[in-house]
Structure 1
Amino acid sequence: MFRKILVPVDPGETDFAVHAIETAVGLARQSGGEVRLLAVTPVVGGYVTEFLPPDFEDQLESQTRDKLGALIQASGQPASHASVTTRIGSVYHEVVDEAAEWKADLIVVSSHRPSMATYLIGSNAAKIVRHAPCSVMVVRD
């Protein structure tokens, strides 16, 4: 079945990803597959960087990796079949790129219930579904 499952996680809303992680771990157990959690942080640029500590991006990445590590450990997925990674940029671009580079065969993504704004501008989940190089499962609580 699915051997490499990627789960995008918003580091600011980790509780929102729990259902997607549980789903991915359940699917991975059926086939002895791997689960990778991915967090994408935005590019911090321009004049804003003048007001941040010089090691801000390193601190942010370290904190984000710690959050992802705690999530994957709590999921019960064996450490030998679990990994975490972070990327910087646009969420859906980075998710699609990570899936392609890691050769994922499934992305399990959480999605909020659609709102009017979602219909007008689209959601990251919808963009991932349209552009992913593999199957995508969208889960909702």
Structure 2
Amino acid sequence: MYARLLAAIDREDEQGTRLIASRCAALANTMGASVSLIHVRLQPPASYGRHLPWQWEADEAKEVRGWLQELARTHAFEDRLSGTFAPSGSVSREVAARARELGSDVIMVAAHRATLGRILLGSTAHAIMRDAPCDVLLVRDSEALQAAA
């Protein structure tokens, strides 16, 4: 059903990262889907630019792409990995643009756990769904949701 998967990874969300990586492995290994991973980096304020080394942006992007490759290796879908991307900017716009560029069939994104004072579908996931050129698979941690109930 899905041949080209783009997984949007939030490096700050360890639980969501593990969950998405395990689902990527399952889709890659059972359906033969190719997997691309993307982590959209936040842009530092412009005033920081003059204080950072000139190569900082490139070094950070390279480090994130290496982390994404390691994630694929650790979760045993490295052979199905078709690309790693670490752009900076608006998460929803960057994810949608990359999905269009790659011809992705589906974008995978993690949902936040339902907790008091928190909306189940975060604003980033909602924006990705709104801007996506393809299906969006919202991945939830069913064990955590059951424990919270």
TM-score range, shorter chain: 0.7 to 0.9
Q: Which has the higher strand share?
A: 1
Q: Displacement of 1:30 after TM fit?
A: 2.6
Deviations 1:91-128 (A, max 9, x none): 11101111111011011111213564658xx5111111
Moved more, 103-112 or 8-17: 8-17
How far apart, in 2, do the equivalents of 1:13 and 1:2 lie? 25
How far apart, in 2, do the equivalents of 1:59 and 1:51 lie? 15
Moved more, 104-113 or 39-48: 39-48
Q: What's 1:2 paired with?
A: 2
Equivalent pairs, count: 138
Alignment of 1:1-141 (within 5 A): 1-79=1-79, 81-82=80-81, 83-113=83-113, 116=117, 118=119, 123-141=123-141
Deviations 1:47-69 (A, max 9, x none): 11112122110111121111111
Structure 1 vs Structure 2: percent identity of aligned residues? 28
Q: Is the 8 A contact 2:37 2:85 kept in 1?
A: yes
How far apart, in 2, do the equivalents of 1:15 and 1:72 lie? 15
Q: Is the 8 A contact 1:42 1:88 kept in 2?
A: yes
Could you tell me which amino acid in structure 2 is paired with residue 87 of structure 1?
P
How far apart, in 2, do the equivalents of 1:12 and 1:66 lie? 16
Provide TM-score, normalisation by structure 1.
0.86
**Unaligned ranges ≥5, structure 1:** none
Deviations 1:59-93 (A, max 9, x none): 111211111111011111142x2021121211111
Q: Displacement of 1:12 after TM fit?
A: 3.1
Q: Counterpart of 1:35 in 2: which secondary structure?
A: strand
Q: Is the 8 A contact 1:2 1:28 kept in 2?
A: no
